Amino acid sequence: MAVPGSHSVRFPIPLQPNSIQFPISHSQNTKFLWGKLQKTELLDYWRCFIYRTQVGNPMKEVPTIMSSQEILDKAFRRVKKVMVTDLTGTRKTKAEAMGRLSALSHTISAVLKKYVRTFPSLDQVHPFERELIDITVGLDELRHSLGAIDWARKTTEGIHKSETARIKSSSSKTDIMNAQNSAYGRISSVMNRVSGELEFLNQARDKLRDMPSINAEEIVIVVAGCPNVGKSQIVERISSGKPIIACYPFTTKGVSIGHLQVGYDRVQVMDTPGLLDRELEARNKIELQAIAALEHLANIVIYVFDPSETCGYTIETQKNLRDQIIATFPNVPSIMVSNKSDLTQSELGINISASNGNGVEELVSAIENAVKIALIGT
């Protein structure tokens, strides 16, 4: 279905605006009013919008993961501070041993529990983020490591409980100290067993926290096309401010993320060099998986032609890539753009010149129409 006023916009799914129901969402990301809008009230959709907050990278909340030895050192520093001054003899020895063991266990347990809790739930993150995690560090490996850390926490607490009971039942200082030292050794052994998992989690944290944040609650426009057709320049032209250039783990090139304001909504505009600018046969397994991840986000695709062929690719090659992109995003509306109109005019799409700005207003108008319809469908 074409958007009025733009023959270059393709909507694969017909819009049925006569009766549109907007769902309530009580999530922390978005909230909407209930609204049942008739065809003549579509523009009033914007008045139904309450607010939408920016979703940051959840990995930024994960603290630096200490090594097993660093955690043990921290815990034993707490142990050394335990002193009992109001008791004497065996009772003092027993109270100090129980206090030291409690300090050791609680410190380690608190640290490990914090690590597990601050990592985002892999079953609840957005499919796009889940794909990125899998590409970057591996979902199975991350689940295993988090599970091992939680096992270490529970085992430490179990040792604390059993050895505390042993200390309580001991009648001599020798038995008390043996129980205390046994607990020290067992807990240290547990921590050493998960040293590899702690190291893996710290590396995963460092890799994942540097990934650019994409708000899955906002409309995402993916800009595709052959290399050197002017995609990044278009992103900069239609976005407010300078696009953010960030590196994804599946490409050595930067990914441009700009923003465009449409009514009350902020729209993300994403250029994906190294992913959607090559034919299918030229992409490796990781790139294909990354493209699959983008399928979870893309609401609109802008395909950019260079009819002047100064990009180094023939029109036929560019058309073939366009067909592959449409096949990759079969249910996503697409806008066709012919860049470098200052060099050559074309009937392949909206004629613009990203270098001098000609035609950009028409492109933005087409994007705004497409965004409004995409929002209605969400």
- Dihedral angle computed from the Cα positions of residues 285, 288, 292 and 294, in that order, rounded to the nearest 10 degrees: 120
Q: Tell me the pairing of strands 334-338 and 9-10.
A: antiparallel
**Which tokens go with 188?**
């240290």
Decide which of 59 and 223 is more confident: 223
CATH number reported for the structural domain that contains residue 267 in this entry:
3.40.50.300
Q: Rounding to the nearest 10 degrees, give the CA dihedral for residues 82, 83, 86, 87.
A: 100
| Domain match, 219 and 199 both | no
Q: Which domain holds residue 308?
A: 212-376
User: What phi, psi does 37 have (nearest 5°)?
Assistant: -105, 140
Cα separation, 71 vs 298, in Å, equals 43
Clarify whether residues 167 and 64 are in a common domain: yes
CATH code of the domain in which 196 resides: 1.20.120.1190
In terms of domains, do 192 and 251 share one? no
The distance from CA 285 to its chain's CA centroid, rounded to whole angstroms, is 20
Mean pLDDT of 318-335: 90
- pLDDT at 245 (0 to 100): 65
**How many Cα atoms within 13 Å fall on the side-chain side of residue 292?**
13
E-strand ranges in 117-226 read 220-225
Determine how many CB atoms are found less than 10 A away from the CB of residue 133. Answer: 24
Positive/negative CA dihedral, 354, 357, 360, 362: negative
Question: Among the listed ranges 80-89, 140-149, 269-278, which one has the minimum average pLDDT value?
Answer: 269-278
CA 179 to chain centre: 46
Confidence at residue 17, expressed as pLDDT on a 0 to 100 scale: 35
Domain shared by 201 and 225, yes or no: no
List pLDDT tens digits, range 153-197. Answer: 999 999 999 999 999 999 999 999 999 999 999 999 999 999 999
Tokens matching residue 42: 């579509």
Structural contact between residues 150 and 112, judged by C-beta atoms closer than 8 angstroms? yes
Confidence class of residue 214 from pLDDT cuts 50, 70 and 90?
confident
137 located within any domain = yes
The residue whose two tokens read 């020895």 is 93
pLDDT tens digits for 302-320? 999 999 999 999 999 999 9
The string of pLDDT tens digits covering residues 145-164 is: 999 999 999 999 999 999 99
Predicted structure pTM score: 0.70
pLDDT at residue 29 above 50? no
* Domain count along the chain: 2
Q: How confident is the model at residue 99 (pLDDT cuts 50, 70, 90)?
A: very high
pLDDT bin (cut points 50, 70, 90) of residue 277 is: confident
Taking residues 22-46, what's their average pLDDT?
A: 35
Average pLDDT across the chain, whole number: 81
Q: Which of 126, 372, 367, 365 is nearest to 265 (CA)?
A: 372
Q: How many CB atoms are located within 10 Å of the residue 184 CB?
A: 19
Q: Report the range out of 97-111, 283-297, 303-317, 338-352 with the highest average pLDDT.
A: 97-111
Task: Judge if 226 and 369 occupy the same domain.
Answer: yes
280 and 260, same structural domain?
yes
Residue 263 burial (C-beta neighbours within 10 Å; 0-12, 13-18, 19+): middle
Q: Write the pLDDT tens digit of every residue in 73-90.
A: 999 999 999 999 999 999
Residue 27 tokens read as 């999530």
pLDDT at 7: 42
Same domain, 162 and 195: yes
